[in-house]
Amino acid sequence: MENNEIITLLPKQKKGFLRLVFSRIGLFIVLLVIEIGIILSVYLWFADYFKWFTIGQTLFSIGMLFYLFNCSMDATAKLTWLYLIMLVPVPATIMLYFTQREIGHRAVKARTEQLIEQSRGKLTQNEDIISRDELVESGTAALCRYLNRSGCFPIYENTEVSFFPLGEDKFSAMLDELKKAEEYIFMEYFIIGEGLMWGSILKILADKATQGVDVRVMYDGMCEMSTLSSDYPKRLEKMGIKCKPFSPITPFISTHYNYRDHRKILVIDGKVAFNGGVNLADEYINHVERFGHWKDTAVMLKGEAVRSFTLMFLQMWNISEREPEWDAYIKPVSHSVSDGYVMPYCDHPLDDDKVGENVYMDILYRAGDYVHIMTPYLILDNEMETALKYAAQRGVDVKLILPGIPDKKAAYALAKTHYRSLVKSGVKIYEYTPGFVHAKVFVCDDVKAVVGTINLDYRSLYHHFECATYLYKTECIADIEKDFQHTLESCQEVTPETIRREKLYYKILGGIMKILAPLM
């Protein structure tokens, strides 16, 4: 592709180092330093009263333990807070109070709930579909009814699905479909980074905006600390493109910064939608190399199920809009002849439903033959680890493909802490030796699959806005399983022997980070 076919708005710049300041860990470090200073001051200035300070702190810690054991928090998270309160009572308690009080995101939570309720009736479930015997007997109908407790997620037929085994494949299809846009283009992505991929897309967006197409772009506000400038929305608006970051960084410490928009959605004219793990930066299409070969996946939908992704985008876009728009964009879609069923769904961290995790566990508990999984991270709570082990123990072929080259060493070390227990239970784990696996894929028994943005870690399952596409008996499921088997050929199996010979560095780091896993 020629350089004159891409647009670049920013000079090359180093990635920011401030995102730590706005994270839980960053805040915890600040509070820990404060506590150390307080303790030293008390000891030096009030040595005679230090024992009373210690007694008071101990009683306070015991009170916090009673609180933890009686709250509704996840069991693994309770253990983490328990360790922290025992070690460093003051900063841990302040941090716990800070997160439990939802400081800084109450307004977003209320607005999100309002929009979900307001839009709940925009899409309706065809009862003829959900009552069909094959959906009832497979548990898919029950899963759909569960999902609709927390949102508006019909299951559709008449939707054609194409599977892309690499980011390069998705990128090529995206360019072709974007050029066909006539009414609107909605884009919501976790990461946008300037380069060949985004520059090529931006050129098309700019051209479409001049033609009167309604072009809207959303990205996560953390991009301001890594890949984009704080004035990037204004730069795009000058080109006729509506743009807004989700939760932009401001000089205010808030738990809202912990909830990131990890979704990847592209909707064109309500007729075509893209979903999967691929962000809009050059490493995702292997144009630049960061962690070896980048293995990712995505799907393209054409037909009725696209309407759900349109609604998901509008729910996020309308959070900051005074007058939400729905009906002009959620319109009937022409049918695409296709076998099987498609159910797009999303998850948000501001309610008590762990939708992403529950869908994965539903697949594991109902599997009869196999469940094959690709995920970049493996930071499990007790429920998910139990589901994986139980499936393997009852004879299901459970295989996981994980990165051979990590993007984050702490997360990589944490994943390895689960290896011994899982392998002992019969779960087969493989590492992708050519590079980094960023795909988020479940495929089961040749009839079920999920492709989306949801990782097997606390970030995705508890703290991020996520989305995915659930497939039942669609033609492309065979392509997903074929890609899994092809990827497996480039993997090395994890065995008790490889676990024993693991580098001491990862064993020590994993053991340390295990305590902080729910905060990762």
Cα–Cα distance list, 495 to 397, 402, 481 (Å): 16, 14, 23
CA 383 to chain centre: 18
Reference 325, options 178, 105, 122; nearest CA is 122
101 vs 507: CA distance, rounded Å: 35
312 vs 327: CA distance, rounded Å: 13
**Cross-sheet strand order for the sheet of 265-268:** 159-164, 298-303, 272-276, 265-268, 184-189, 214-220, 242-246
For residue 81, which amino acid is it?
A: W
Task: Determine contact, residues 275/306, Cβ cutoff 8 Å.
Answer: no
How is residue 273 annotated by DSSP? E
| Adjacent-strand bridge partners of 428 | 399
Residues designated as active site: 262, 264, 269, 438, 440, 445
Enumerate the domain spans of the chain: 19-100, 106-136+154-340, 355-519
CATH class of 106-136+154-340: alpha beta
**Cross-sheet strand order for the sheet of 441-444:** 341-347, 466-472, 448-452, 441-444, 370-374, 397-403, 428-432, 491-493
Q: Which two tokens stand for residue 260?
A: 């990131």
512 vs 221: CA distance, rounded Å: 30
| Adjacent-strand bridge partners of 295 | 437
Q: Which two tokens stand for residue 136?
A: 């009832």
Do the domains at 106-136+154-340 and 355-519 have one common CATH topology? yes
147 vs 126: CA distance, rounded Å: 15
Reference 276, options 501, 42, 442, 106; nearest CA is 442
pLDDT of residue 499: 95
CB count within 10 Å of CB 421 equals 13
- In 149-296 the beta strands, taken as DSSP E runs, fall at 159-164, 184-189, 214-220, 242-246, 265-268, 272-276, 293-295
| Adjacent-strand bridge partners of 374 | 401, 441
CA 132 to chain centre: 31
pTM over 0.75: yes
Torsion (CA) 430, 436, 442, 446 in degrees, nearest 10: -70
CATH number of 355-519: 3.30.870.10
Q: What are phi and psi of 217, to 5 degrees?
A: -130, 130
How is residue 283 annotated by DSSP? G
Q: Which two tokens stand for residue 368?
A: 């009869």
For residue 389, which amino acid is it?
A: K
Number of residues that make up the chain: 520
367 vs 214: CA distance, rounded Å: 43
Reference 295, options 118, 401, 167; nearest CA is 167
Q: Under 8 Å CB-to-CB from 417, ≥6 apart: which residues?
A: 510, 511, 513, 514
Q: Which two tokens stand for residue 163?
A: 């599977």
Q: Which two tokens stand for residue 45?
A: 């200035």
Residue 325's Cβ-count burial label (10 Å; 0-12, 13-18, 19+) is exposed
CA 364 to chain centre: 19
434 vs 292: CA distance, rounded Å: 6
> From first to last of its 520 residues, what are the pLDDT tens digits of the chain?
444 478 888 876 544 444 444 444 555 566 567 766 766 675 566 556 666 667 776 777 777 777 777 777 777 777 777 777 777 776 777 677 666 666 556 677 788 888 888 888 889 899 999 999 999 999 999 999 999 887 789 999 999 999 999 999 999 999 999 999 999 999 999 999 999 999 999 999 999 999 999 999 999 988 877 788 888 999 999 999 999 998 776 554 444 456 789 999 999 999 999 999 999 999 999 999 999 999 999 999 999 999 999 999 999 999 888 888 888 898 888 777 788 999 999 998 877 789 999 999 999 999 999 999 999 999 999 999 999 999 999 999 999 999 999 999 999 999 999 999 999 999 999 999 999 999 999 999 999 999 999 999 988 998 899 999 999 999 999 999 999 999 999 999 999 999 999 999 988 988 888 877 766 6
Q: If you search the block for the tokens 């959070």, which residue do you land on?
A: 319
174 vs 184: CA distance, rounded Å: 14
Reference 387, options 350, 354, 347, 430; nearest CA is 354
| Adjacent-strand bridge partners of 438 | none
Reference 192, options 217, 160, 158; nearest CA is 217
Q: Which two tokens stand for residue 516?
A: 């902080």
The sign one gets for the Cα dihedral 121, 469, 105, 252 is: negative
